[in-house]
Amino acid sequence: MAERKVKARYRTTGPHREMVTYQKCWLDDLKSLQQETVTEEMETYMVYFPQGHSIRLLGRKALEASGFHLKPRMVDMETGDVVDVGGDPYDFSDASIVIRDDDIEQLGSAKKRAA
């Protein structure tokens, strides 16, 4: 019997502080729509999926609303069925995950502390 390919449904990293640009919209006194481009520093979370895609969520509230703050369930990658046993939870070696600069800095400082 072939071994099943089991992975976690997602992997969450963060929080990261980064500059986020968005459109701020409001209605003025005459009920006309006004908008401006705003850039501000926000807390962000990255959620990686085993198929290779990812999403960025702005703030802990959005993370909890999406349900990605919980420990992920394991999924059989061949059938898509949720399983309760086996697998490496964060073995996304098949996926192309972009490593961010601040992740590398945190990893380097952790290695220095361990030495």
Give residues with Cβ within 8 angstroms of 75, minimum separation 6: 6, 7, 8, 9, 50, 81, 82, 83
> Which helix H or strand E contains 112, and what residues bound it?
helix 101-114
pTM: 0.63
Q: What is the CA radius of gyration of the chain?
A: 19
Q: Between 53 and 111, where is the model more confident?
A: 53
Q: Residue 103 and residue 97: Cα distance in Å, rounded?
A: 12
Neighbours of 15 (CB within 10 A): 15
Q: Report whether pLDDT(48) > 60.
A: yes
For residue 8, what pLDDT band results from cuts at 50, 70 and 90? Answer: confident
**Where do the structural domains in the chain lie, given as residue ranges?**
6-114
Is pLDDT at 4 greater than 80 in this prediction? no
